[in-house]
Amino acid sequence: MKLKEDINPLLLQVFRSVVWVYSVVTFLPWYFISGAGVNQARAKRVKARSISGLPAGPYRSVNCIDRLVLTLHQGVDTLDKVFEYAASHFPNRDCLGTRELLSEEDEVQPNGKVFKKVILGQYKWLTYEEAFNESRFFGSGLAALGQEPKCNIAIFCETRAEWIVTAQACFMYNFPLVTLYSTLGGPAIAHGLNETEVTHIITSKDLLQSRLKAILLDVPRLRHIIIVDSKPTNWPDMPRGIMVNSMAAVQEIGAKPEHSKVAKVRSLPLPTDIAVIMYTSGSTGIPKGVMISHSNLIAGITGMAERIPNLEYNDTYIGYLPLAHVLELSAELVCISHGCRIGYSSPQTLADQSTKIKKGSKGDTSMLKPTLMAAVPEIMDRIYKNVMTKVDEMSRLQRSLFILAYNYKMEQISKGYGTPLCDRLVFHKVRSLLGGNTRILLSGGAPLSPATQRFMNICFCCPVGQGYGLTETCGAGTISDMWDYSTGRVGAPLVCSDITLKDWEEGGYHSTDKPNPRGEILIGGPNVTMGYYKNHTKNQDDFFVDEKGQRWFCTGDIGEFHPDGCLKIIDRKKDLVKLQAGEYVSLGKVEAVLKNCPLIDNICAYANSDQSYVIGFVVPNQKQLTTLAVQRGVPGSLEELCNSTDMEFEVLRVITEAAIADKLERFEIPKKIRLSAEPWTPETGLVTDAFKLKRKELKTHYQDDIERMYGGK
Ligand SMILES: *[C@@H]1O[C@H](CO)[C@@H](O)[C@H](O)[C@H]1NC(C)=O
Ligand SMILES: *[C@@H]1O[C@H](CO)[C@@H](O)[C@H](O)[C@H]1NC(C)=O
Ligand SMILES: *[C@@H]1O[C@H](CO)[C@@H](O)[C@H](O)[C@H]1NC(C)=O
Ligand SMILES: *[C@@H]1O[C@H](CO)[C@@H](O)[C@H](O)[C@H]1NC(C)=O
Ligand SMILES: *[C@@H]1O[C@H](CO)[C@@H](O)[C@H](O)[C@H]1NC(C)=O
Ligand SMILES: CC(=O)N[C@H]1CO[C@H](CO)[C@@H](O)[C@@H]1O
C-alpha cells in the first residue's frame, strides 16, 4: 500500500535527482558491504518443508528437518536450571530494571478530567546474582509460610520485576504458578482462584484494593496475601484472618539460616511437572486454565530464541505487555536464558508522549533505549495512527518529502536494498520514538495488518517479525524470518513445532487446494501443553496424540502454506456463518479486509443464519469521520455523528467501495452498520486482552441495533 498525495512535480524531480546521485555514488560499494544480493536470496529461501511430502504436511523448519529441537542448553531441562545457568554465567550483568518514581501529581485537563502524571528517574538494576538470590529467599520464605511443592500458588499482578522474581521462586520450589490477567472480571478471577484451590496469592497494593478485596469471600481456601510493593503494614479489615505480608518480609523470613537450609532439600521440579497454569480469557465463556509444564516452556523459548538473530547478553528488552500472556512470559524467559537486560515499563509510560508521563520528562523507551521489543497489533496500530497524524500536521513541503521517502523506501525494501540516506534524514525522528536502538520488533497475539507492518518496517528501520501461537501451544507455532520482508504472513514453523493442515469440508478448505494447500492448523510437538485444568471433555476435543506419540492441538484457525514454507492465517472456524441462501460468510475475512480502510478503527461483522445479509458494528476513526462529516455538511459531536443515519449511509458507501476493490463477494459486504463512538477496549469487556473480538459480548451489547438492522424494529 502506498501513501497517496498530490506532489509538486518540481519537488518530485529534485528528490529523484538527489536520490539518484546518492545511489550512483554509493551503490556499488554499498551493494557489496550490505550484501543486498544476499539479503534477497535470504528473504526468498525456503524456510520449511512438508516432511511427509504431502501438501497437508506436517511442515517443519528446514533448520531442524531431522528432529525437533527441545532444549536451549545441554542438560538444562527445567526452568529453575535455566535461571541457575544464567545466574552462574552472567552473575554481575544487569537482569531486571525498574525506574524510580521521583514525583507524582494530578493534572487537571481543560475538560475538567484529572490525569495522574509521573516523573520517573533512572533505571535501577538487579544483577543476575541479586535477582537469583531474591527469588531463592522468596521461595524459601513462601515455603516457611506453609506453601507446599506441587500445590498451586497464584499471582495477580501488573508487569514488573517482582513478577519474574516470584515466577522464578515458584519454578525453583516447584510451586505451580497460576496466572490471571488483571483485566479479567471479578467472577472470572474468583473462578480461577477457587478452581485451582490456591492458599497463597502474590499481588500488588493497587490490585488488592481495587479488585481482589471484593471477591475474597468467594475464595474460601485463601490464607495468605503477599504484596509486592508495600512496606510491612497492618491490613486490619481482612476477612476471616487472612494474613497480609509484604514481599520483602517474606524474603527476610526466607533468608534466615534455618529456612534457607530447608531450601537445600527443596523438591526439584521434573521436566513434566506443571510450571504455570495460565488462565486465558478466550473469546467465549469462562476463562480456561492451560497447564504448561517446564518442558513445554523450555521448548517454546528454544523455538522463539532461534528466530532472533545474534541474541546476546548485550541486548536490552522492554517489558510492558501483561506477563500473564504467554507471549510476554516466553519473551522474558528467552531474555533471561541469554543474559539480556529486561527494563520494565507500562503502556501508559512507554514513550515521552504517553498519557502518564509528565510533559517534558522522559518516557521509558527514551531512557532504556531497548534493542528488542514485543508488541500487540493494537499498540502498533496506535503508533501508526499517531505518526500519521503528525505527518498530516507537517508543512506541505515536509509532508511531501516524508511521503516521497516512504514510497521510495518501500520500493527499495522489496528489492532487498536499504536506504541509509532516507533513514538518517527522514525516519531518524520516528525511530527515536522507541528509543532509537530497536533492532527487532516482534508482533503477536492477533494478526497485524499488512499496512501497519510495512509502515513499522519502513519508519523504525528494523525488521518487524510476526508470530503465531496460542497459550495451548505455549506461544510456539511460527515466527517470521527477520530477513523476510513480505507482509501478512506469520512465518515458518519454529524449530520446536510441526504444523499440519486438516481439511475442513464445511468451510471448503482442502490440502489439495490450488495454488496453495489450505486447512485447519494443527500444531504438534513437545511445546504442546498438557491441556486445560480440570476439563477432561474439552481436552479430548481439542488435543490428541498421534500414532507416533506426538501431541497435537487443534487451533480452530484456518491457514494456507506458501511454497517457501510460510504460513498465512486466512480464517477462523468459529467465525463462519451460513446465510439464509446457503452462502458461507467468514466474518473474520470480512473484518480483515475492511480494517484496512482508514475510516475504520475496528469492526465486528455479524450475521444471523436466518437472514440473507451481513451487518456490522463499526468503531470509526474519529479524525476521518469528522473530516467526512465536514465534507458532507453533517453537523454534530462525535456521538451525534455516530447516531446520524446520514453518516451511517456515507460510511457504508466507503466500506462498500473498499470491499469491492478488495474483491469481497457481494453477499459478504455488510448491508447495514451501527457506528460506535466508544472504542472497544478490554475494560469494556468487548474485546480480549489481546484485543480479539468477543463476539458473544458484542452481540449482547448491540442486541437492539441488531434487531433494528434486521428490520425487527
Ligand atoms: C547470593 O547468595 C550467595 C549465597 O547465599 C552469597 O554468597 C552471595 O554473596 C549473594 N550475592 C549477592 C549479590 O547478594
Ligand atoms: C469453589 O469450588 C468448589 C469446588 O471446588 C465449588 O463447590 C464452589 O461452588 C466454588 N465456589 C465458587 C464461589 O465458585
Ligand atoms: C552484542 O555484541 C556482539 C558481539 O559481541 C555484537 O556483534 C552485537 O552487535 C552487539 N549487540 C548490541 C545490541 O550491541
Ligand atoms: C469445559 O469446557 C467447555 C467448553 O469451554 C465448557 O462448556 C465446560 O463448562 C467446561 N467444563 C468445566 C468443568 O469447566
Ligand atoms: C445515540 O444513540 C444512543 C443509543 O441509541 C443513545 O443512548 C444516545 O443518547 C444517543 N446520543 C445522542 C447524542 O443522540
Ligand atoms: C506434555 C507433553 O506433551 N509432553 C511431551 C513433550 O515431548 C516429549 C518428547 O516428545 C514427550 O515425551 C512428552 O510426553
CA–centroid distance, 133 to ligand 1, in Å, is 6
- Residues within a 6 A CB radius of ligand 1: 129-130, 133
**To the nearest 5 percent, what fractions of the chain are helix, strand and coil?**
40, 20, 35
The best mutation among 152, 189, 191, 194 to test binding of ligand 2, ranked by most ligand atoms within 8 Å of the C-beta, falls on 194
The best mutation among 64, 295, 545, 546 to test binding of ligand 6, ranked by most ligand atoms within 8 Å of the C-beta, falls on 295
CA–centroid distance, 132 to ligand 1, in Å, is 9
Q: Which atom of ligand 1 is nearest to the CA of 260?
A: 5
Per-residue model confidence as pLDDT tens digits over 280-309: 865 556 788 999 999 999 999 999 999 998
Q: What is the mean pLDDT of residues 213-240?
A: 82
At the top level of CATH, which class does the domain 48-68+372-436+438-572 belong to? alpha beta
Residue pair 557/573 in contact by the 8 Å Cβ criterion: yes
Our answer on whether the CB atom of 194 is closer than 6 Å to any ligand 4 atom is no
Our answer on whether the CB atom of 183 is closer than 6 Å to any ligand 4 atom is no
Mean pLDDT across the chain, nearest whole number?
Answer: 86
Who's near 569: CB < 8 A, 6+ residues apart? 447, 468, 490, 521, 557, 558, 559
Write down the pLDDT at residue 41.
75
The best mutation among 637, 643, 645 to test binding of ligand 5, ranked by most ligand atoms within 8 Å of the C-beta, falls on 643
Strand partners, 518: 560
> CA distances (Å), 456 to each of 460, 495, 560, in order?
6, 26, 25
Q: What is the mean pLDDT of residues 500-525?
A: 90
CA–centroid distance, 122 to ligand 1, in Å, is 25
CA–centroid distance, 179 to ligand 5, in Å, is 39
Q: Which atom of ligand 3 is nearest to the CA of 315?
A: 13
Write down the pLDDT at residue 20.
65
Locate cell 510491612: which residue?
232
Write down the pLDDT at residue 179.
96
- Residues within a 6 A CB radius of ligand 2: 190-191, 194, 218
Q: Which of residues 40 and 121 earns the better pLDDT score?
A: 121
Q: What is the mean pLDDT of residues 402-417?
A: 82
CA distance 295 to 476: 13
Write down the pLDDT at residue 713.
46
Q: What is the mean pLDDT of residues 76-101?
A: 95
Per-residue model confidence as pLDDT tens digits over 459-488: 888 888 889 998 888 888 999 988 888 888
Q: What is the mean pLDDT of residues 607-634?
A: 90
Q: Which atom of ligand 5 is nearest to the CA of 637?
A: 13
pTM: 0.83
Q: Which atom of ligand 6 is nearest to the CA of 528?
A: 3
Q: Which of residues 61 and 109 earns the better pLDDT score?
A: 61
Per-residue model confidence as pLDDT tens digits over 641-688: 999 999 999 999 999 999 998 888 888 999 999 999 989 988 888 887
- Residues within a 6 A CB radius of ligand 6: 293, 295, 526, 528, 530, 551
> CA distances (Å), 45 to each of 60, 63, 660, in order?
14, 12, 34
CA distance 364 to 361: 10
DSSP state of 367: H
Q: Which atom of ligand 2 is nearest to the CA of 194?
A: 1
Our answer on whether the CB atom of 640 is closer than 6 Å to any ligand 5 atom is yes
Write down the pLDDT at residue 696.
81
Residue pair 203/158 in contact by the 8 Å Cβ criterion: no
Lowest mean pLDDT among 148-152, 555-559, 709-713: 709-713
> CA distances (Å), 320 to each of 130, 324, 381, 479, in order?
22, 11, 17, 20
Lowest mean pLDDT among 128-137, 216-225, 386-395, 479-488: 386-395
Most confident of 261-270, 282-291, 389-398, 608-617: 608-617
Residue 109 pLDDT > 70: yes
CA–centroid distance, 130 to ligand 1, in Å, is 7
Q: Which atom of ligand 6 is nearest to the CA of 527?
A: 6
CA 443 remoteness from chain centre: 6
Read off the pLDDT band of 28 (50, 70, 90): low
Q: Whose CA is nearest to atom 10 of ligand 5?
A: 643
Buried b (16+ CB within 10 A) or exposed e, 114-144: eeebbbbeebebbbbbbbbbbbbbbbbbbbb
Ligand with smallest separation from the Cα of 647 = 5
**Of 58, 61, 125, 65, residue with least CA distance to 93:** 125
- Sign of the alpha-carbon torsion through 681, 685, 690, 695: negative
CA distance 169 to 133: 9
Q: Whose CA is nearest to atom 6 of ligand 6?
A: 526
Q: Provide the angle, in degrees to the nearest 10, between the axes of the packed helices 645-661 and 622-632.
A: 110
- List the chain domain ranges: 48-68+372-436+438-572, 79-344, 579-709
User: Residues in the chain, how many?
Assistant: 713
CATH level 3 topology of 579-709: GMP Synthetase; Chain A, domain 3 (3.30.300)
Q: Whose CA is nearest to atom 7 of ligand 3?
A: 310
Per-residue model confidence as pLDDT tens digits over 88-100: 999 999 999 999 9
Q: First CA to last CA across the chain, in angstroms?
A: 41
Residue 574 pLDDT > 80: no
Per-residue model confidence as pLDDT tens digits over 529-540: 888 998 888 888
Ligand with smallest separation from the Cα of 195 = 2
Which 3-state string (H, E, C) describes 624-674?
HHHHHHHHHCCCCCHHHHHHCHHHHHHHHHHHHHHHHHCCCCHHHCCCEEE
Q: What is the mean pLDDT of residues 320-330?
A: 92
Read off the pLDDT band of 257 (50, 70, 90): confident
Write down the pLDDT at residue 406.
87
**Of 322, 356, 350, residue with least CA distance to 105:** 356
CA–centroid distance, 172 to ligand 1, in Å, is 16
Who's near 12: CB < 8 A, 6+ residues apart? 404
Who's near 340: CB < 8 A, 6+ residues apart? 311, 312, 313, 314, 315, 316, 317, 372
CA distance 211 to 51: 50
CA–centroid distance, 290 to ligand 4, in Å, is 13
Q: Which three-class secondary structure state does DSSP give residue 13?
A: helix
DSSP line for 276-313: EEEEE--SSSS-EEEEEEHHHHHHHHHHHHHTSTT--T
Q: What is the mean pLDDT of residues 66-86?
A: 88
Per CATH, 48-68+372-436+438-572 and 579-709 having the same topology is answered no
- What Rg value do the Cα atoms of the chain yield, rounded? 26
CA distance 522 to 37: 35
Q: Whose CA is nearest to atom 4 of ligand 3?
A: 312
> May I ask the CATH architecture of the domain 79-344?
3-Layer(aba) Sandwich (3.40)
The percent of residues in the chain predicted with pLDDT above 70, rounded, is 92
Write down the pLDDT at residue 197.
95
Residue pair 195/289 in contact by the 8 Å Cβ criterion: yes
